[in-house]
Structure 1
């Protein structure tokens, strides 16, 4: 339906009213004037007849004279005059030459009434004259009797002409009035519709969000009230929208600044909202996944299983899930190559349960490696995983290369997940809550994700630390207790120990006590270093590294001389740095002492300092030509109580905390430490300190 302006709804209506009114006035005027002229004509005829009636008494008995008289008077007055006797015979007529030929008028209504003594008028078509006439019949009385009736008449055409003239003038006047009125009505309509159009434009501005605009108040009381209501509505809406936008911005700010990931789903598992933390966890773009089904947007079996369980229970639930990287479906071209590799892998490893290890490590152990996860469905291609080589096409050689670096294969629900050796597990603690509307009806699901990888790692470290400490302390305590019991038992027996045996036992006890003391001392030292940067601060000062290195070498010289090991210092730079000299010296002592422990007799240790100008750092290296360290141990070398050769380490008197102390000292100075080693070729520890 085509819509029109309100002007064209109002104006035609007014115009129609004017036209209908004009026709009504014309019709009414026509009838009024017709009736008016008819009445006037009848009165005129009656007056004429009354005058003539008295003149006809003298001619009633002389029909010929009477006929001539009627013709003369009728011609002069333009009136038809007819005289009818009581029997209806016409004896005189001003229009007819021969009255004998005229019909009998006895049955004419006006004649009948006239013979009753009443003047009577009527309008009808005349068969004699062949036109419509107005008749007025008057009784002619003589001596109380009515011997005849005189009828006077004129043609109606005379009246019609007068009425037409009047009506034409009325129509012309009405048209002029209607034209003028229509113009006036048009402008009145425009005046009425103009404020409505302005309010319409204002409402359009409101719909476009410009709620600060104010409508002008029209002169009309009703439209002014409407404009005031619209202005009030706009102000109220503006306040409410601003409040909603403020709350939305606050909510967005809260969600954006939250470390926890937040995902809101509707009833059909479509993503309503996802904050940056959640998007970062699953490596997706928030704007691209909004509105999509979470099964297609985030391909993670554990998450989907969690959502299904939350939907089924309709109550808040929580659990940990593991992640091993990102989805690689979009970055891998030909999955058939993976299928073939997967099938060959399955045929060669179909008896494996749990995981397999492949020895490979990064060249730089201090830097985090990129996680690689490839999930292969049994015989159906790639299911999920992370990108192997971002930005490059995946060919057969590239796929084969990465599949050769497999570290672990796990089996879950007929799916085999293969992990790259350097894949680092991410642990998410997730919990859900139903989304409810104002009527407490469930409309979706809210998922909160917390990255608890570090927390779980710390928990594991705490457990490992407790276990290692217990083990490290338990071993010397067991030895002390055993030897003390032996000494006590033999002291009270008939077979006492010899002085040489007692001396040996006491030396073993002393050695284990010293070991316990060293462990406790190192633990306290390590605890103090870990607190640096928190409650405690470094005693920073301008430190000459050559002094710290020289003091450390002197401290370890006796131990080095006992194994005939030479310690050579190569100081390329004497640049001073801001550091805690005691801690730096402690770190150097631990590294040199560690090198002496694991070096062969007659070995050589080189301590070198150099400047890395590109990184604005000083690099201190401690190198030895000892047995070296296998690659599989390098990642864990700086953990507490971790030993490559546990038996040999204890024989050397080590506590297992020396390298851990070095690492924390370096970290306290915003530096880093790394190790490079190959079996049989010695080891090189490097400390990088900023200057």
Structure 2
């Protein structure tokens, strides 16, 4: 019930009815007062007119007549006739009283004739003054109007006319008029309520539709329109609302398109982007930034991480990022990688009012770039060192020969052998460098042929059997006799085997062993080849870099063995060119196992 009166429609109806009711009350009160005044005045005027006429006519009977004397009976009969024919008031009681206060004639009880009337009104009238009053009849309870007029002439009072008339008829008429007014008021209220409902619906129906439309728009439904019922202000409001909805739909669609574009750009950017507010709280982070920093936007929100926490930066007091102009290079240790090197650029935002805003941070992963740059520097340094050492040796021995050592045949022969050895070492180094350079610039071009795996492995073992005997290392071949044919570049695989077997024999102490094994995996259609030695081994920390160019575990010992530091790098390049993989496992002073696989022959295509 109370909810009903919360609606605009019923508020308008109730207010409209209250206004009409108040107007009708004021009008009714005024009308009732005027009606009552009118009927009471009319009643009094009529009663007064009748009394005045009766008093005037009665004067001829009550005034002494010098010419003709009338008996009391004649006077009474004359007055009775006057009362009977002249007094027309229904229910009015009339008495005619002489100057002594005696009742001469009456319309009431005839027994009162001849009796003296001592009522105050009569006494006042006999003194020559008109008297009027209203009383309640004790017998009936009716309101009675009493009017007493003196009968006089030439300033002599001859008697009085007494009239008492009931006013209930007049008040009954007044009540009927008030009842009619009340009925009219109720009918007016009913009609007002009906018209109010119609009027309120005329106004509120479009408003309700606009309300439903506003709720639909707030829920994202822009396909509905408000029905326009008229061309008045409400109709114009509905048309304006429809136009606003259309414009709002277009604006939101445009905003969504821009947001999708921005999201797509941020999502597909290779650089990381982090947006933070002026307090450093993370507001936005794209996928690249999440992958770089190994943290999600949800984790940042849950842990309430700031930009300083995210990038492991000093507090704002020590490093205000809004004043940071030049990019920073930051190194970070993350759980699932050794080190992350980031180039970080900060772009502070400013509000139109000039107040400090947030910061857009762009992250560039330069770990690989830094690593390649470091490798380039190490490569140049290693090449320079590798070439300078044999050249220095050659120069020293040539100078010694020029200084007279050539005169000693035994000494000159030894010096020339050393010079030849160092020259061959430089040739091997240059050849390896040229091969890697060719791989980098031209790629690796392989010539796949169907190859007998058993023959290939036996040939490799035979090539290094003599070298193993010279080093005091036992070389064994452990392969099955029925290995399937493989589809490879024979020269490339021979070079891989040569590099691996050469390293295994060189870094295995005298009395050790090297085993060349092969095992076929027919489910994967791969042939796994492994070289296992009992040599000095490789520390765990060096295993991840062992395939890098010029990387050596023990540089002094490697040079002493005549290595260039490029054999494993070349082996990996050639294996990966076959679409295969190479792996190494090692324990210090226990030995090393290098394993790689090559594909089976499958109708002329590489596996």
Report the TM-score when normalising by structure 2: 0.77
2:355 aligns to what? 441
Superposed displacement of residue 99, structure 1: 5.8
CA 1:299 to 1:58, structure 2 compared with 1: closer, same or farther past 3 Å? closer
CA 1:561 to 1:16, structure 2 compared with 1: closer, same or farther past 3 Å? same
Q: Does 1:642 align with 2:551?
A: yes
> How far, CA to CA, are the matches of 1:187 and 1:149 in structure 2?
70
How do 1:272-671 and structure 2 match up within 5 A? 272-290=283-301, 292-294=303-305, 303-305=312-314, 309-311=318-320, 314-316=323-325, 318-326=327-335, 424-486=338-400, 490=403, 497-498=406-407, 500=409, 504-531=414-441, 536=443, 538-544=445-451, 546=453, 548-549=456-457, 552=460, 569-572=477-480, 574-598=483-507, 605-613=514-522, 615-624=524-533, 627-631=535-539, 634-671=543-580
> How far, CA to CA, are the matches of 2:161 and 2:491 in structure 1?
156
1:182 is aligned, of 181, 189, 193, to 193
> How far, CA to CA, are the matches of 2:132 and 2:212 in structure 1?
66
CA 1:514 to 1:265, structure 2 compared with 1: closer, same or farther past 3 Å? same
Secondary structure of the structure 2 residue equivalent to 1:77: coil
Superposed displacement of residue 661, structure 1: 0.8
> How far, CA to CA, are the matches of 2:511 and 2:48 in structure 1?
169
> How far, CA to CA, are the matches of 2:191 and 2:474 in structure 1?
125
Contact 1:530 1:664 in 2 (8 A): no
1:264 is aligned, of 275, 286, 290, to 275
2:236 is aligned, of 225, 239, 254, to 225
Give a deviation string over 1:489-523, Cα, whole Å, max 9, x none: x3xxxx68416355555554444333323222211
> How far, CA to CA, are the matches of 1:545 and 1:502 in structure 2?
48
CA 1:70 to 1:21, structure 2 compared with 1: closer, same or farther past 3 Å? farther
> How far, CA to CA, are the matches of 2:289 and 2:128 in structure 1?
112
Contact 2:346 2:360 in 1 (8 A): yes
Contact 1:265 1:445 in 2 (8 A): yes
1:20 aligns to what? 22
Q: Does 1:206 align with 2:217?
A: yes
User: Size of the alignment, in residue pairs?
Assistant: 571
Secondary structure of the structure 2 residue equivalent to 1:628: coil
> How far, CA to CA, are the matches of 2:558 and 2:452 in structure 1?
29
1:393 aligns to what? none
Contact 2:100 2:159 in 1 (8 A): no
> How far, CA to CA, are the matches of 1:443 and 1:66 in structure 2?
121
Superposed displacement of residue 614, structure 1: 5.6
Give a deviation string over 1:408-436, Cα, whole Å, max 9, x none: xxxxxxxxxxxxxxxx2333333333344
Q: Does 1:244 align with 2:255?
A: yes
2:33 aligns to what? 31
Report the TM-score when normalising by structure 1: 0.69
Give a deviation string over 1:48-95, Cα, whole Å, max 9, x none: 46765763453252496767755654465335778999x999998968
Contact 2:59 2:152 in 1 (8 A): yes
Q: Does 1:104 align with 2:113?
A: no
Contact 2:322 2:346 in 1 (8 A): no
Superposed displacement of residue 204, structure 1: 1.9
> How far, CA to CA, are the matches of 1:197 and 1:88 in structure 2?
86
> How far, CA to CA, are the matches of 1:107 and 1:502 in structure 2?
187
CA 1:123 to 1:211, structure 2 compared with 1: closer, same or farther past 3 Å? farther
CA 1:620 to 1:81, structure 2 compared with 1: closer, same or farther past 3 Å? same
Secondary structure of the structure 2 residue equivalent to 1:250: helix
Q: Which stretch has the larger CA shift, 4-13 or 601-610?
A: 601-610
> How far, CA to CA, are the matches of 1:437 and 1:192 in structure 2?
45
Superposed displacement of residue 595, structure 1: 3.6
Superposed displacement of residue 293, structure 1: 2.0
Contact 2:451 2:488 in 1 (8 A): no
CA 1:92 to 1:453, structure 2 compared with 1: closer, same or farther past 3 Å? farther
Secondary structure of the structure 1 residue equivalent to 2:363: strand
